Amino acid sequence: MKHLKKGFLVLLLPLFAFTVAHKFYVSVTNVGYSEKDEALQITSRVFIDDLEAVLLERYDVTAKLATDDESKLTEEYLEKYLRLKFEVAINGENVSYDLIGRKYDNDVCIFYIEVPQVNLPSVKSIQIKNEILTDLYDEQQNVLHFKIKDQKKSFVLVKSDTKGMLNL
């Protein structure tokens, strides 16, 4: 009986080798407000390999992010893609934002975004449209967390529903 169990396991083992867990396609964006700077401050975390895949697919750029061989075109194309896929609206009107910078943390790229000169008492709603990577992966989920004043609200944005709104 003992040998039968081992034999059965040996037969099943190769099957398990081909049933690798499917990769999750997810980004996480946090939106807050800085009283001191009177600005919306946004951080967005996106997996590096997914960003590399979208830059290659859309712009034919081999980015090699977070390496010494990172393409010189990376900055330009990352910003171009971000501005195409990520929008901020205050009181129903799209507003411009500054891409302050980015850094790498292990396998994630963190974007730092700021919407300057936001007079929070006059703000009734803040909406984020995040379509990052939804053009490449149907399964992409962009998690969005608002934490402004004493309000917290979270959304899971998907290809068919790419907007989240916080009413103040």
Helices (H) and strands (E) in the chain, counts: 3, 10
Sorted by sequence, the CB contacts under 8 Å of residue 135 that are 6+ apart come out as 54, 58, 85
The pLDDT of residue 29 is above 80: yes
The pLDDT of residue 166 is above 90: yes
Sorted by sequence, the CB contacts under 8 Å of residue 159 that are 6+ apart come out as 131, 134, 138, 140
Cα dihedral 35→39→40→43 (10° resolution):
-100
pLDDT of residue 69: 92
Angle formed by the axes of helices 48-59 and 74-85, to 10°? 90
pLDDT per residue over 35-64, tens digit each?
999 999 999 999 999 999 999 999 999 999
| 8-state DSSP, 91 | T
Question: Which pTM does this prediction carry?
Answer: 0.84
| Residue whose entry in the numeric block shows the structure tokens 């990376």 | 74
What band does 112 get if pLDDT is binned at 50, 70 and 90? very high
pLDDT of residue 8: 42
Residue spans per domain, the chain: 23-167
The pLDDT of residue 30 is above 50: yes
- CA nearest neighbour of 115 among 128, 124, 104: 128
Share of the chain above pLDDT 90, in %: 81
Q: What is the C-alpha to C-alpha distance for residues 28 and 36, in angstroms, rounded to an integer?
A: 24
pLDDT per residue over 83-101, tens digit each?
999 999 999 999 999 999 9
What band does 150 get if pLDDT is binned at 50, 70 and 90? confident
Q: Is 111 helix (H, G, I), strand (E, B) or coil?
A: strand
pLDDT of residue 1: 54
Query: Mean pLDDT of all residues in the chain?
Result: 88
Q: What is the C-alpha to C-alpha distance for residues 146 and 32, in angstroms, rounded to an integer?
A: 6
Q: What is the C-alpha to C-alpha distance for residues 103 and 129, in angstroms, rounded to an integer?
A: 22
Q: Is 55 helix (H, G, I), strand (E, B) or coil?
A: helix
Q: What is the C-alpha to C-alpha distance for residues 144 and 132, in angstroms, rounded to an integer?
A: 12
